[in-house]
Chain A
Amino acid sequence: MKKIITLLLVFVMSFTITGCDKSASIVSSVAQSDVTIWSAPGSEKIMQDKLDIYEDIKGPAQINVYAAKGEYEGQHLILTSENKDVDNINLTASALTLVGGTETLPVDNIEIFFEKYVEVKKNYDKTDAPIGWYPDALIPMEKIVEFKENNFKAGRNQGLYIRFNVPVDQPAGTYRGVFTLSYATYTKQIPVVLEVMDLVVSQETHSRSHFIHEWQFRLGELNSTEDMLMKYVKAGLEYRISPAGLVLEDSFSDEGVAYYISRAREVMQNPKCSEVAIPLSMASSGDGSIDIATSSKVLNAFIDASLEDNFDYVAKLGCHLFDEPQLNNGLEKTKKRTATFYQMLEDAAAALEARVVDGSKEAFKQQLVKSVLSVRGAITASYEQAYDGYIRTWCPTVDYYDSAANRQKYAEEEERWYTSQGLESRRWWYTCISPRAPFPTYHTEDTLLSARALSWMQAEYGVTGNLFWATNIYANYDGSKYVNIEDFYSGDASRYIQVNGDGYLFYPGKPYGIDGPIGSLRLEAIRDGSEEYEILYELKNNYKEVSSTIGVDFDGTTAIRDLAKDIYTGTRVSTNSDSFDQARSALYNLAMMSNSNAKVSIIDAKDNLKGAIEYTVYVEKGYTVKANGIEVLPRDSYSSGNVYVIPATLDKEDNNLVLQVSNGTNTYRLVRGLGGKAYNYTVADGNFTSSFSKENATVTTAVESKNGSQMLKLTFGKTTTKSQRIKFTDDVLSNLDSTKSKLILHIYNEGSAVDFTVAFDMKRHDGYKSVIATKLNQGMNSVVISLDNANFALNGKINFAVFLLGDTNNTTVEPSRTIWLESVSVYSK
């Protein structure tokens, strides 16, 4: 009887297996011609299931990368098979050799990864990025081969990521070599070119960051030891992200503090580490205060260690003092937290000041005192009056830096609490679920350029610190709790509500037999951005030196703005690999020109917002300067060098400026992509005379001569509403699309300053979409509207615009007002 039952069970099981098993092994019947091999920039995400959307970026089957010394840089090699499954994939690297020399880039500095894909089921950022399978985890090729996963299914792309780690002392020049790609039963030689620029990326990280590694890594690593945390910390440092804490559970016992300090010594002496969190003990009152006595033990231990090692650990201390109080009614706790925190720092600084040290250490002690007072307690909050005076280090989300007014506000707060006291400037920001693209994010469906652009923004806006809440949540948050996930590498990209990719940047190494974390394309992008930050940082320092030599006030911010206009406006990213590469290439050239004896420096880049740009450039004496092949004569002369003014106009479909600086022996060249054509539509040419109509305010129009031009007089009727509004309907607006970058309104205001808002009525958008809120000051105003704000991909075309004057928040009596429109300019990308 038992036998019969057993047999029947076997029958049942076999029936089930036959019916369900879909994981039959791949049988190689693929022909060589079935597989297309191509390359794509490392800054792209090539999706697994989209075969027909990459025609614009497809490159030949070769590796072609440029990098500075001391820099990591990578590129994709993609295999595509429409109809056949492909197995047995491998790519073998070999050393590269300097063209015209004997030096090599060792194979140890070249790594090859097999890209794994996670599924974006919904584009929560509502960009035009498709849903589907996005590459993220980068598994070392040898592990993929070992685990027999070196295959892919028909109808898919499979990415290999090739990463070069250029040593700091690698001679500049062009390196060539050949890699061997094998798949199925075939092999193919892949030519490789690596251009090493004559430029060094600092190995010290000058931007600060606070990325939390302590979350749920144990669920993926099946290892919850302090040593495993340390592996994440160290891996993070190689990506130039600094950790938050260094232990899983803070202990404020003597042993606990000593343990923390020992870990900190190991981590903080790494130049790539820019910050480590100081553990804080909360007061038992529960009112938000920190326990000063207990927390001071740690701070004082850091001071002691600094004096002992003659290494300023305190300068690298910081913390995330309070999380999002504005979302959680945390004002009262913020008051207590900040008061006790600053009390602790001031007490420690005073005690240190009073401390008697060896005379040779006195200067170091004074530096330490400043470091203590500089320890930042970043609070993830945006400026709000109620918190004014309590929060000293605001850490808003990146979008709060979008407007110049906000940037100014945060700069003023920094000045108020720190720089005016002679302390170093350290502004902070963060990203999370919010904001969403076009603001920079690490979300899966967002571009890698978005993550990379964040660092450029930091350099431009003086934001030193970047906070991110979790690098390794190997679990899925379902709204109330974390639940285990089955597939860390190929599952749903969303592990938190309404967002893809948030909460994890690493992947667990354990499933592939790796003792520590596995990186991702997003981490590569973060590091690429940080490396570019270092180049920008050095460029600014160089410019400051020139500025001080010639006595002209500039610091490189204008130059960065000019480069970055191909990447973002405000903090809204709008770029593609081509545009980004132009900006990056220009940066590297500018950096090399700045480092050279010519000390070429961009002092200014003025745009008249009607299609004319004027560069002001400093060059040391003894050099000739040419713009687009024509020699330029100096405008001003200083003892060390000359200042040149170089005009450019945006009158072609594609506009470039080629700047050449040469002394006969050395020639430096900068190619600047200036963007597309600028269009000007003036009232004098008969435009806009019948484009305005009533919305909630009446409007009368008349063409009059004003301020030396023919302008359209727009008189808004009196209203008792929230602002007074008129409609602006014109082909200039309805023809705008994502190929255009800016809409500029040239408006004259005779009266006193008035609030001015422009909103678009768009085909697929509910309500009017506000695209700028500014002030019309007395006199001529050029109101620049970044069209990235319009999000044409999501919202469709513009039906009309609405001009709003006055208070948009409250119903008030808005008196009749008059403004004059002189012209409208449109810039193309």
Chain B
Amino acid sequence: MKNKLLTKVLAILATLAISVSTIGCGPAQTPAGCLDVFVMEAGYGYQWCDDLMQAFAKQDWVKEKYPDLTLNFQHNDNKSYVETKLKAGAKNNTFDLLFGEVVQTYLEKYAGEYLYELTDSVYSKQIPGETQTYEEKCYDSYNQSNQYPGVTTADGDPRYFIASWAGGMNGIFYNEEILIDQLGFNVPRTTDELIWQCEQILALKGNTENKYNKGFSFIQSKGLGYLQYLFPIWWGQYQSVESIYDFYKGVDDGMSGSKNIFKQEGRLHALKAYEDLFFYDYNETTKVSNAFLTPSSNTYDFMTAQSLFLKGEGVFHVNGDWYENEMKDMKADIVNEGGRVYDIKLMRTPIISAIRYKFGITDVELRATVDYVDGVTTTKPTYASYNTDLYESVDEIIDEVRVARGVVNASGPFHTAVIPTYAREKDIAADFLLFMATDVAQSIYIKSTGGSSLPFEYNLKVKDPATYNALSPMHKERHDYFNDANIDIQITPNKSSFPLVQFGGVSEFTYGDYYSVFSSSDNVDKNGNKIRTAESIYNATLDAWNDKKWTDALDKAGLR
């Protein structure tokens, strides 16, 4: 008994001695040549990373450069884990590479101190076996999104400390069978067309024509968080993605430090689209909703809402391209239990109809222009009239619609990776990021995530047709969209990387829940009148940003 106890004590103390010395001052436990990686689990999962690491180790150039390479890989779903580990320093963090979320917010705090610079070690390096550099192959909008805002090289070139590890797309999913087969609609091309479809769907509530008869069009989950994805798209369509960058940088019409950013009308029009689509219309007495968004949304957790949508509740649902990956087990369960699941697709986000007022054309003409841009028709649109003060030719309008059609919101700018400055294997970690830009890695990532992709130019259909053919219709369409030669995909930025947002308190509107406010019962007074409108939220923001508040924000952001 005594011996057993002594053995136990010895063992505990020996462990204690090692752990204390390691935490206190000892070197990392991982051997030299070991790439130690952490992945935060999100909708895209973590399998992709494991698969990529295994493939990385098998590359000839890797074997030659790192003959003793070993791999260590960990994951969890703790969103603050990356920051905690990053700040822990070499003594308490052995990870050489961390894949996390919204890492941009660390730029101002940690660039140079904890964040290893990737400009020379990754972005300007040639991708092994290929002719392009990492920066050249990465979508321009991702490069722009991942730059350290306001901090450049002496020559004014961008500097990078983070790299994106996802490059998908967020937007409006639709139930193809209901929308097209049952209702006979096409995929909406403009917001007015989408609103019209929602009105028709509402009018068909309770019908007995074997058509979708639930009345509501949209189904979402509690808090309506995913609805936010649409706002930057509509804003960017109306005003350009560049203007969104300008907004967050405090640049108006080329002039820096200008509070005229709050006069950007794309924000107002985008908000009006929300007001028209996601309004509150519920009769407490009759318990009848005449809203396009089912009021039950506010009771669903995200898996419930997503499952219901899969089962035919709702025609539209806002989500991200990880949706299928996230729902694959649920889908199998439903089928196994004899349930019915529908084919779900992700549409190109309808063009904001307000843009036509700039053009001076009708919505029907705008829809025809979208068809032309999408290649649905080869007939060039003609307009009864258009705004010749702003546009010298019809082609200029078509080009602007084409640019608008490429505006995409994605979670990629929020899913970013960093290498700690103190990491022991910075070179291997940087080479792994470089590997992630290879064609080989693209194919692996797409397979691992069930169709999602990294933010690099890569035509799956051409380069790996077998994988393409195995994808779901939803993912095929998305890949087609991203590789459409007529469309230049532009990702809307992650606003949290901008100092004016982080420290200056600048946001699209001073009212924070603008994307969900209209659908809330709190937005209706006792007389049934709306308390807040898009216009009032826009104007309140203009009023709130007085000179004092603005210069204070610029100073806090270090932009004056």
A382 in contact (CB, < 8 A): yes
Does the CB pair B544–A329 fall under 8 Å?
Answer: yes
Does the CB pair B547–A722 fall under 8 Å?
Answer: no
Does the CB pair A16–B389 fall under 8 Å?
Answer: no
- A interface SS class: loop
| CB neighbours of A720 from chain B (8 A) | 389
Those of A438-463 within 8 Å (CB) of chain B: none
The one of B21, B249, B263, B555 in contact with A15, judged by C-beta atoms closer than 8 angstroms, is B21
How far apart sit A433 and B558, CA to CA, in the bound complex (Å)? 10
Does the CB pair A19–B558 fall under 8 Å?
Answer: no
Does the CB pair A436–B560 fall under 8 Å?
Answer: yes
Those of B408-437 within 8 Å (CB) of chain A: none
The one of B13, B156, B257, B551 in contact with A770, judged by C-beta atoms closer than 8 angstroms, is B257
| CB neighbours of A434 from chain B (8 A) | 551-552, 555-556
| CB neighbours of A122 from chain B (8 A) | 108-109, 113
How far apart sit A722 and B109, CA to CA, in the bound complex (Å)? 36
Does the CB pair B551–A399 fall under 8 Å?
Answer: yes
B282 in contact (CB, < 8 A): no
Does the CB pair B555–A435 fall under 8 Å?
Answer: yes
CB B109 to nearest CB in A, in angstroms, measures 8
B260 in contact (CB, < 8 A): yes
B287 in contact (CB, < 8 A): no
How far apart sit A15 and B154, CA to CA, in the bound complex (Å)? 48
B150 in contact (CB, < 8 A): yes
A-B contact count (CB 8 A): 123
B65 in contact (CB, < 8 A): no
How far apart sit A126 and B150, CA to CA, in the bound complex (Å)? 11
How far apart sit A720 and B252, CA to CA, in the bound complex (Å)? 16
Does the CB pair A12–B13 fall under 8 Å?
Answer: yes
CB A801 to nearest CB in B, in angstroms, measures 13
The one of A16, A125, A327, A769 in contact with B17, judged by C-beta atoms closer than 8 angstroms, is A16
How far apart sit A434 and B547, CA to CA, in the bound complex (Å)? 13
Does the CB pair A16–B558 fall under 8 Å?
Answer: no
The one of A126, A721, A763, A769 in contact with B558, judged by C-beta atoms closer than 8 angstroms, is A126
Does the CB pair B9–A770 fall under 8 Å?
Answer: no
| CB neighbours of B64 from chain A (8 A) | none
Chain A 759-803: CB-based contact to B (< 8 A → 1; otherwise 0): 100011111111000000000000000000000000010000010
Does the CB pair B560–A327 fall under 8 Å?
Answer: no
B555 nearest in chain A by CB position: A434
| CB neighbours of A326 from chain B (8 A) | 546-549
Does the CB pair A435–B551 fall under 8 Å?
Answer: yes
The one of B21, B149, B560 in contact with A435, judged by C-beta atoms closer than 8 angstroms, is B560
A293 in contact (CB, < 8 A): no
| A16-B20, A436-B560 known; A764-B152 Cβ under 8 A | yes
B5 in contact (CB, < 8 A): yes
B10 in contact (CB, < 8 A): yes
| CB neighbours of A558 from chain B (8 A) | none
The one of A4, A16, A766 in contact with B150, judged by C-beta atoms closer than 8 angstroms, is A766
| A125-B558, A498-B558 known; A767-B549 Cβ under 8 A | no
Does the CB pair B560–A19 fall under 8 Å?
Answer: no
| A121-B113, A382-B548, A436-B558 known; A15-B17 Cβ under 8 A | yes
| CB neighbours of B113 from chain A (8 A) | 121-122
Q: How many of B's residues come within 8 Å of A, CB to CB?
A: 48
How far apart sit A397 and B550, CA to CA, in the bound complex (Å)? 13
| CB neighbours of A766 from chain B (8 A) | 149-150, 249, 251, 256
B332 in contact (CB, < 8 A): no
The one of B24, B255, B546 in contact with A768, judged by C-beta atoms closer than 8 angstroms, is B255
How far apart sit A433 and B389, CA to CA, in the bound complex (Å)? 46
A753 in contact (CB, < 8 A): no
CB B199 to nearest CB in A, in angstroms, measures 34
| CB neighbours of A433 from chain B (8 A) | 555-556
How far apart sit A89 and B252, CA to CA, in the bound complex (Å)? 57
How far apart sit A171 and B17, CA to CA, in the bound complex (Å)? 69
Does the CB pair A19–B21 fall under 8 Å?
Answer: yes
Chain A 1-36: CB-based contact to B (< 8 A → 1; otherwise 0): 100110011011001100110000000000000000
Those of B26-84 within 8 Å (CB) of chain A: 26
A763 nearest in chain B by CB position: B156
Does the CB pair B558–A8 fall under 8 Å?
Answer: no
How far apart sit A809 and B542, CA to CA, in the bound complex (Å)? 13
B253 in contact (CB, < 8 A): yes
| A8-B9, A12-B17 known; A381-B256 Cβ under 8 A | no
| CB neighbours of B547 from chain A (8 A) | 326, 382, 384
A808 in contact (CB, < 8 A): yes
| A382-B547, A436-B560 known; A722-B21 Cβ under 8 A | no
CB A450 to nearest CB in B, in angstroms, measures 15
Those of B9-26 within 8 Å (CB) of chain A: 9-10, 13, 16-17, 20-21, 24-26
A124 in contact (CB, < 8 A): yes
How far apart sit A15 and B19, CA to CA, in the bound complex (Å)? 11
The one of B25, B249, B549 in contact with A19, judged by C-beta atoms closer than 8 angstroms, is B25
How far apart sit A261 and B546, CA to CA, in the bound complex (Å)? 40
| A327-B552, A434-B552, A435-B560 known; A769-B152 Cβ under 8 A | no
How far apart sit A377 and B65, CA to CA, in the bound complex (Å)? 71
Does the CB pair A1–B6 fall under 8 Å?
Answer: yes
How far apart sit A326 and B155, CA to CA, in the bound complex (Å)? 39
| CB neighbours of A12 from chain B (8 A) | 13, 16-17, 20
How far apart sit A16 and B18, CA to CA, in the bound complex (Å)? 9
How far apart sit A326 and B2, CA to CA, in the bound complex (Å)? 74
Those of B148-166 within 8 Å (CB) of chain A: 149-150, 152, 154-156
Does the CB pair B256–A19 fall under 8 Å?
Answer: no
Does the CB pair A498–B556 fall under 8 Å?
Answer: yes
**Residue of B149, B156, B503 most packed against chain A (CB within 10 A):** B156
CB A244 to nearest CB in B, in angstroms, measures 21
| A4-B6, A5-B9, A767-B246 known; A20-B24 Cβ under 8 A | yes
A497 in contact (CB, < 8 A): yes
A725 nearest in chain B by CB position: B254
| CB neighbours of A497 from chain B (8 A) | 503, 556
| CB neighbours of A722 from chain B (8 A) | 252-253, 260
CB B10 to nearest CB in A, in angstroms, measures 7
Does the CB pair B558–A767 fall under 8 Å?
Answer: no
Chain A 107-132: CB-based contact to B (< 8 A → 1; otherwise 0): 00000000000000110111000000
How far apart sit A396 and B16, CA to CA, in the bound complex (Å)? 58
B111 nearest in chain A by CB position: A122
CB A697 to nearest CB in B, in angstroms, measures 13
CB B186 to nearest CB in A, in angstroms, measures 36
Chain B 179-209: CB-based contact to A (< 8 A → 1; otherwise 0): 0000000000000000000000000000000
| CB neighbours of B9 from chain A (8 A) | 4-5, 8
Chain B 373-388: CB-based contact to A (< 8 A → 1; otherwise 0): 0000000000000000
Does the CB pair B154–A8 fall under 8 Å?
Answer: no
Does the CB pair A770–B256 fall under 8 Å?
Answer: yes
How far apart sit A122 and B10, CA to CA, in the bound complex (Å)? 47
| CB neighbours of B2 from chain A (8 A) | 1
| A796-B156, A809-B260 known; A8-B551 Cβ under 8 A | no
How far apart sit A763 and B154, CA to CA, in the bound complex (Å)? 8
**Residue of B152, B258, B560 most packed against chain A (CB within 10 A):** B560
Which 10 A-B residue pairs are closest in the complex by CB-CB distance? A767-B256, A434-B555, A767-B251, A326-B548, A20-B24, A763-B156, A20-B25, A382-B548, A19-B25, A12-B17
Interface residues of A (CB under 8 A from B): 1, 4-5, 8-9, 11-12, 15-16, 19-20, 121-122, 124-126, 324, 326-327, 329, 381-382, 384, 386, 396-397, 399, 433-436, 497-498, 720-722, 759, 763-770, 796, 802, 808-809
| 15 A–B pairs (Cβ distance < 8 Å), ordered by A | A1-B2, A1-B6, A4-B9, A9-B13, A11-B13, A11-B17, A326-B547, A396-B548, A433-B555, A497-B503, A498-B503, A763-B155, A766-B256, A769-B257, A808-B253
A sample of 19 more A-B contacts (CB under 8 A), given A19-B25, A384-B547, A770-B257, is A1-B2, A4-B9, A8-B10, A12-B17, A15-B17, A16-B20, A20-B25, A121-B113, A386-B546, A397-B551, A397-B552, A498-B503, A722-B253, A764-B154, A767-B249, A769-B257, A770-B256, A796-B154, A802-B254
